[in-house]
Structure 1
Amino acid sequence: MSTKNIVIGTAGHIDHGKTTLIKSLTGIETDTTHEEQQRGLSINLGFAYLDLPNGERIGIVDVPGHERFVKNMLAGVVGINLVLLVIDVNEGIMPQTREHLDILTLLGLKAFIIVLTKLRTVDSELRQLVLDDIRENLDGTSLAEASIIETDALSGLGLEELKAEIQRKVACIKPILNESEPRLNVDRVFSIKGHGTIVTGTLIDGALTVGDEVMVYPSNKKTKIRRIQVHETTQMQAYPGQRTALNLTKISLSEIKRGDVITLRGNVEPTWMIDVNLSVLSTADRPIGLWERVHVHLGTNEVLGRVVPLGLEEVRPGSEGYVQLRLEEQVAVKQGDRLILRSYSPIVTIAGGIVLEANAEKHRRYNQVILDSLAVKESGDFSAVLLDYLNKQRGFMTAKGMADYLNVNLAKVNQTLVELCAEKKVMPINQTFIGSSRLKEISLEIYELLEAYHQKFPLKSGMSIEEVRSRLGDLRQREIEAILASLMTQKVIKQTNSTLRLANFSVAFSEHQQAIKKRIENTLLEAGLTPPSLPDLLGNDPEAQGVLDTLIGESVYYLNQNTVIHLAVYQSAVSQVKSFLKVNGTMTLGEFRDMMHTTRKYSKIFLEHLDDLRVTKRLEDSRVLAETQNNQQ
């Protein structure tokens, strides 16, 4: 499903007429606080909506222009599709005009309309000089070809032309695919008596529905959507791109703030570190070097952090490079999100970037593997990005998990997986996937694990499957089974009963060890259920324990850590106990002793072992078959 919900935003210097323009276009006053109205400037974000000539309704964000309120401006541009760069004809381009333009460019915005305001206050000669100056200043920028609409909000001059131009631009904006998990970057939090906590923001990536259980990140608070409003209209659902107000339950004002992210559980993971491709403005007064402290603006959030350049000493003005941002507070972001850096002091915009790794680990600055991975992520080759991601995961991943993490729609992931599986670069198993390179690494790990085991225990037939699983503890059991099955198909390993061994391995007894094996087996076979003690069985031969270990599960059976019997004796005894109980119903310890011609000591050890295995069940002084007892119950 695709939706086309457009939000436009204003940008420009203080007092250039942004709020007045919006009021004239929409009839809505976006300066809502007493302080804003008294001072005549926007402090917080203002919101309105505009009905275009074709009937389409679009959202408008009026962002502050004063230098002190640039951080509020940054919060407002999240989710904006089209920008009105507002310039007062009396002043032309001013410092905050330039900074707003820098920020918008760094955030990747490309759709602009230049709105010249207060036209009735100047003569035609000054008007032309300002127009020429604007074109000269914007030459070489993303606004070089932007249309200029001349207006005067108080008289209504140019407003219809502006609406028509907005409608033309909106028609060229591609609809948003509604196939990812929804996210809302909170830009305002307040409460209404009788309703509770309200948050607002521009919804991105996916849809939200009344009744949805959602999470607030990075605090991991759970809440539920009671009501949704879009453009002051109550709706059951909000779609990507819409300015949205959410009425939340079971959460107080103190538990949520601007900068938080509302989304579904597990869609994001709070992080202290992110890897970024950083572009430094050519106007920055110095390079950005190691440990420089900066203000980081992500979504509607602002946190402090330190810069760690990767693969280079510093990122110079007018250039770009990879950096890791180590943050002083956790944030919730996704790969592909854009950010702005402002210097710590004085606070000015110096750079912008794209998140390449949203949950980065601390790594060395000149680690070529990391640098190559970041280059793949920056390339935009989605097939390479997806393969790089899979080959860095320990186990198998679902297509949805990949789509959520990489912040792309599921259809794109599924199509790419089909291609990668056909090229044998990805292995599918039970609706999950693993990169072939990662699979080879895990397979090699298993091979080396078994090889080391064979070297340490050359007389053991193999390592138990449970021990192999425990050594691969960060993989799920079904993943381990899939990998082991693949290795057995390739005839790399073999399974015998409950042990694994390399396919080319076999126990090779020396002549002396063969003699020990024969002695142990014959002794236990003759002893029946009255076996010798382990020290007596092993004698003083240092090789005997190794030989005995090799025979476990093949011809020798452990009743407990101190008692072993011949496997054939054990199997015969179990069979006789079952037959006796099926005929007689119960068996006493004495009856077992007499039947097996053994002692009370070994009768007790054997029957307690069967109790532990749930073959039998003790009832006072007798045993019954456990399955019979369960059926009766």
Structure 2
Amino acid sequence: MTVIATAGHVDHGKSSLVLALTGTDPDRLAEEKRRGMTIDLGFAHTESLSFVDVPGHIDFLNTMVAGVHGVDIALLVIDIGEGWKPQTVEHLDILMLMQVRHIVVALTKADASTHDATTALVARTESEFASRGMTPHNIIVTSAHTGLGIEELRDALTALTQVVSTASLTSPARLFVDRVFTIAGSGTVVTGTLSGAALHEGDELIVARTQQATKIRSIQQHGAVSSSARPRTRCALNLTHLSTDAIHRGDVLLFNDSCYSTEVFDGSVELAFGTGALGTAVSPVRNGGGYTLHIGTARRAASLRFLGTDHSKVRIRFAGALPLIPGDRFLLRRTGDDITVAGGSILDVKPIARTSRATPTGTMSSILEHHGWVTIAEATQLVGEPVAPVVDVWVATPDTVRITTDALVDLLAHTGEVDTTQLQPWERALIATLPNVTITQGIATVGVSNPLLSHPYVELFLSSGVTTPDTKSLDRDVIRRLIHASVLFEHDNIAFHADALQSLRPTLQNLWRQHPDGFSVGHLREELGITRKHAVPLATCLDKVALTKRVGDTRLPGSSW
């Protein structure tokens, strides 16, 4: 169910309108009742509509900004008697900067207003939108007191939710938390608008700020228990092993390692309507600090610097890392006078080039061009969606692939053969794909392959992995030649294919993670689930290819590691 955010000046009837539409009073705090205005985010829903009711008072504008995160539709509320007010203007500017393009305008308190006032306000509203290059989806005259226009407004919002497209499900699931509370017998509950992929009951998440792990015990959406939470919808998550002191508004829940957490990003930026031109002497956005950055429900003190002479792109730095992806919207408010000055879209979450040379565009090539070769996991974090590998588990831009390929071809042409153990991992993967290149026990050459490499024994030992046959029962002359060619490595009549030994790198890494001071033959045997008959020769052959080095009864990383 697409989320709808209210917007508008204080006491223009936002909460009353939501109550009339849903039957739920979004003013949930006693202080809100006493003061007669929304000071925190309120929530209400029907079977087809879901609302975030945001405060209109200037003192609580930061809370309003948190409320419009992740929404596609806004309900701009204007009191016919009072007309356009300062927060009406600023709220519309914020909606524009956050790219909330589907806006329905409700003119309220018609029962206490004249026809002339209503007509004038409709004209003013159309003019305000037109001056910003926008058109409201509807302008509907309403009265929460008499019910005028309520059904028309409900129908218009319902129809709009059916046509608004949802976000891509390929981006990682993230929940920017906007409310935290506890329920007796259940524990901590958080709410927010989910972006990216869906969440499911039982999913294990982390709090990005603290890396504390938690698990979804149960999910509620619109008052009903659900087994999953859909993207771009409101949801409440009941979490395990997490107290209300350990998570707050502005925190982000996500899967571990699904996003890159950063304290600096490059982004495009546009000024709030009517604040002047970027880069001019009176520009409200200048190099330096003094800004509050809003992303999702989080806010951070921030500084910025323009990228080169392009004043439409900036590098923003802040303290307190956030898990961000390209395409995320952000808002900048000036700290001194608390004015919304600009907003924009993130283009690069891990910029490397100097600000004088950076030219981000948000494309995958632009994001990865200064990173060289990265793993699929790293590229996915930087780009914000799944990335296909170029070769093996490695990703790079076309230019980087071309440069690396040319360098490998030149190296082969000048030396005749290349010891692949001396190459970087991505170079080893890439050189194996080059035409007419043959790799024999780690040595790459160009030309016709050795007929010995087609002998059935090669495939036999390669497919056998670490549980190979005893060489005493095989043709010793062929075995000897394969050993001489460094295709096989043998100890005590047990041989292993060179590629099978190299494939054990992840296993060895895991063993050293468990045993930093070195692992034993017994550890190797247990890790691979093999007998001592194979474990002892295997350890010795790993020594022979220098993946390991024997020190006493333990193995440490060798010179080829």
Q: TM-score range by the shorter chain?
A: 0.7 to 0.9
Structure 2: how far apart are the matches of 1:132 and 1:391? 50
Which residue does 1:306 correspond to in 2? 303
Q: What's the secondary structure of 2:18's corresponding residue?
A: helix
Match of residue 218 from structure 2: 227
> Which residue of 2 is the match for residue 442 of structure 1?
404
What is residue 483 of structure 1 aligned with on the other side?
430
- Contact kept, 8 Å, 1:227 with 1:248, in 2: the verdict is yes
Whether 1:10 and 2:1 are equivalent positions in the alignment is: no
With over 3 angstroms needed to count, the CA separation of the structure-2 counterparts of 1:388 and 1:312, relative to structure 1, is closer
**Structure 2 Cα separation of the partners of residues 312 and 93 of structure 1:** 37
- Output the amino acid matched with 1:252: S
Asked if 2 retains the 8 angstrom alpha-carbon contact of 1:293 and 1:307, the reply is no
Distance 2:32 2:158 in 1: 30
Check conservation: 2:260, 2:382, Cα contact below 8 A.
Answer: no
The one-letter code sitting in structure 2 at the alignment partner of 1:407 is G
Q: Does 2:14 match 1:37?
A: no
Query: Which residue does the alignment assign to 1:65?
Result: 56
* Corresponding residue SS for 1:441: helix
Residue 100 of structure 1: CA displacement? 0.3
**Greater displacement, 347-356 / 173-182:** 173-182
The 1:433/1:358 distance shift into structure 2, 3 A limit, reads closer
Residues 350 and 382, structure 2, Cα contact 8 Å, conserved in 1: no
Alpha carbons of structure 1 residues 152 and 126: separation in structure 2 relative to 1, 3 Å: same
Cα RMSD after superposing both structures:
3.3
Name the counterpart of 1:574. Answer: none
The structure that is helix-richer by fraction is 1
Decide which of 172, 176, 184 is 2:175's aligned counterpart: 184
Q: After superposition, give the CA deviation of every residue in 1:573-602 in whole Å (9 maximum; x if it has no partner).
A: xxxx989xxxxxxxxxxxxxxxxxxxxxxx
SS in 1 for 2:326: coil
CA distance in 2, matches of 1:428, 1:37: 59
Aligned letter for 1:188? R
SS at 1:187's partner residue? strand
Distance in 2 (CA, whole Å) between partners of 1:170 and 1:303 is 32
Partner of 1:111: 102
Task: Render the CA deviation track for 1:42-77: whole Å, top value 9, x for unaligned.
Answer: 1110000024xxxxx221100010111111111111
Q: Secondary structure at the match of 1:38?
A: helix
| Amino acid in the other structure paired with 2:326 | Q
CA contact (8 A) 2:290 2:336 kept: no
Does the 8 Å contact 2:367/2:382 carry over to 1?
A: no
Q: Provide the residue aligned with 1:407 in structure 2.
A: 384
2:240 corresponds, among 231, 245, 249, to 249
**Which residue of structure 2 lines up, in the alignment, with residue 95 of structure 1?**
86
2:332 maps to amino acid: L
Percent identity of paired positions between Structure 1 and Structure 2: 31
Aligned to 2:372: 394
Task: Give the alignment partner of residue 291 of structure 1, picking from 288, 293, 313.
Answer: 288
Matched, 1:25 2:25: no
Distance between the aligned counterparts of 1:340 and 1:578, measured in 2? 68
Q: 1:444 to 1:431 in 2, by over 3 A?
A: closer
Kindly indicate whether residue 167 of structure 2 is the aligned counterpart of residue 205 of structure 1.
no
Instruction: State the match for 2:347 in structure 1.
Output: 356
Quote the offset at 1:445 in angstroms.
5.5
Query: In the TM superposition, what is the alpha-carbon distance from 1:397 to its structure 2 partner?
Result: 4.5
Task: Please tell me whether the aligned partners of residues 183 and 205 of structure 1 are also in contact (alpha carbons under 8 angstroms).
Answer: yes
Question: Aligned runs of 1:251-330 on 2, under 5 Å?
Answer: 251-284=242-275, 286-287=282-283, 288-312=285-309, 315=311, 321-330=312-321
The aligned runs of 1:426-465 (5 Å cut-off) are 428-430=390-392, 433-443=395-405, 464-465=419-420
For residues 523-562 of structure 1, the aligned pairs below 5 Å read none
Q: 1 CA distance for matches of 2:137 and 2:150? A: 17
SS in 2 for 1:270: strand
2:300 counterpart letter in structure 1: V
Cα 1:360/1:127, change in 2 over 3 Å: same
Deviation (angstroms), 1:132: 2.6
The corresponding residue for 1:524 is: none
Does 2:208 correspond to 1:217? yes
From 171, 177, 193, the counterpart of 2:162: 171
* Match of residue 48 from structure 1: 44
Which 10-residue stretch deviates more, 90-99 or 283-292? 283-292
C-alpha distance after superposition, 1:6-64 (max 9, x if no partner): 1111100000000011111111111111111101111110000024xxxxx22110001
Structure 1: 5+ residue stretches without partners: 52-56, 316-320, 378-384, 418-426, 455-460, 504-570, 572-576, 580-610, 617-633
**Which residue of structure 2 lines up, in the alignment, with residue 153 of structure 1?**
144
The letter of the residue matching 1:484 is I
State how far apart, in whole Å, the 1-side matches of 2:256 and 2:492 are: 52
Tell me the distance in 1 between the aligned counterparts of 2:431 and 2:159. 59
Is the partner of 2:39 in helix, strand or coil? coil
- Would the aligned equivalents of 2:24 and 2:44 in 1 still touch at CA under 8 Å? yes
Structure 1 residues 615 and 72 mapped into 2: Cα distance closer, same or farther (>3 Å)?
Answer: closer
In the TM superposition, what is the alpha-carbon distance from 1:486 to its structure 2 partner? 3.6
Question: What is the aligned residue count?
Answer: 454
Cα deviation, residue 322, structure 1: 0.9
- Verify the 8 A CA contact 2:179 2:190 in the aligned structure 1: yes
How many Å apart are 1:392 and its aligned residue?
A: 4.4
Point out where structure 2 has 5 or more consecutive residues left out of the alignment. Answer: 277-281, 448-483, 485-490, 494-538, 545-561
Aligned residue identity for 1:113:
V
* Alignment CA distance shift 1:122-1:446 (3 Å): same
- Cα deviation code 1:54-109 (max 9, x no counterpart): xxx22110001011111111111112121110000111000000000000001111
The alpha carbon displacement at 1:405 in A equals 4.1
What TM-score, normalized to structure 1?
0.66
Matched to 2:34, the amino acid is Q
Looking at structure 1, the residues matched to 366 and 72 of structure 2 have their Cα atoms a distance apart, in angstroms, of 31
The alpha carbon displacement at 1:365 in A equals 2.3
Contact kept, 8 Å, 2:70 with 2:195, in 1: the verdict is: yes
Q: Aligned letter for 1:61?
A: V
Instruction: Tell me if structure 2 keeps the 8 A contact 1:8–1:80.
Output: yes
Q: Could you tell me whether the CA contact under 8 Å between 1:447 and 1:502 is conserved in 2?
A: no
Instruction: Go from structure 1 to structure 2 and tell me whether the alpha carbon gap of 1:502 and 1:17 turns closer, same or farther (over 3 Å shift).
Output: same
Q: Structure 2 vs 1, CA of residues 346 and 490 (structure 1 numbering), >3 Å: closer, same or farther? A: farther
- Decide which moves more: 174-183 or 155-164: 174-183
Output one character per residue of 1:602-628: Cα deviation in whole Å (capped at 9) or x when no partner: xxxxxxxxx977999xxxxxxxxxxxx
* 1:488-499 correspondence runs (5 A): 489=435
Aligned counterparts of 2:442 and 2:91: Cα–Cα separation in 1 = 67
CA distance in 2, matches of 1:396, 1:68: 46
